[in-house]
Amino acid sequence: MDSKKQFELITRNTEEIMTEEDLKLLLDSGTKIKHYIGFEISGKIHLGTGLMCMSKVKDFMDAGIDCSIFLADWHSWINDKLGGNRETIKRVAGGYFKEGLKASLKCFGGNPDKLKFILGSDLYHNNDDYWATMVDVSKNTSLARMMRSITIMGRKEGESVDFAKLIYPPMQVANNLIE
């Protein structure tokens, strides 16, 4: 596929991208591109999660991008989803949520067998690189910045939170750097 068609697929129905020039240079270079999107396991898959996100994932796959879906069970636990029950979160992630996202991709003609699913528990288990990256990010971020960053969890800046919620942002950054 030529880079012009890849560019059209990647940018279609998107609100913002890195600069068009940078994306074109990346595509013209032939560099293999990876896409990663993560989901908290918070209950039922809604239209935004299932259809809107997987429609874009299909575009990326059609553009030749390797796509991964991160099932954020630890993040879900930290953010008190599904009653904060780790076993329930993990079961829903590996069953209902994974299968629901596969079915959503199929709705757009995508091949779910080409989609990589990563469970947070699997990524973090015996992964010194991940934990070292998470600590490094934390060492280079102020407490005030962490407090401002909790908005990624749907929390309000300044809201009183338990300490675990303050490690959510550096975990999120480490996920992006490691995967």
pLDDT tens for the chain, 179 residues long, are 899 999 999 999 998 888 999 999 999 999 999 999 999 999 889 888 889 999 999 999 999 999 999 999 999 999 999 999 999 999 999 999 999 999 999 999 999 999 999 999 999 999 999 999 999 999 999 999 998 888 888 888 777 889 999 999 999 999 888 86
Place of tokens 């998107």: 14
Domain count, the chain: 3
> Which of residues 77, 105, 120 is at a domain's end?
120
Task: Name the H helices within 13-163.
Answer: 20-29, 47, 54-62, 73-78, 86-92, 98-107, 120-124, 128-139, 143-149
Beta-carbon neighbour count of residue 119 at 10 Å?
20
The reply to whether 39 and 14 lie within a common domain is no
The reply to whether 112 and 138 lie within a common domain is no
Q: Determine the structural domain holding residue 4 and report its residue range.
A: 1-31
Domain CATH code at residue 107: 3.40.50.620
174/136 Cα distance (integer angstroms) = 9
Sheet holding 66-72: strands in order across?
Answer: 34-40, 66-72, 116-119
The reply to whether 170 and 149 lie within a common domain is yes
The reply to whether 163 and 107 lie within a common domain is no
pTM, two decimals, is 0.88
Distances (CA, A) of 116 to 65, 98, 123: 12, 10, 13
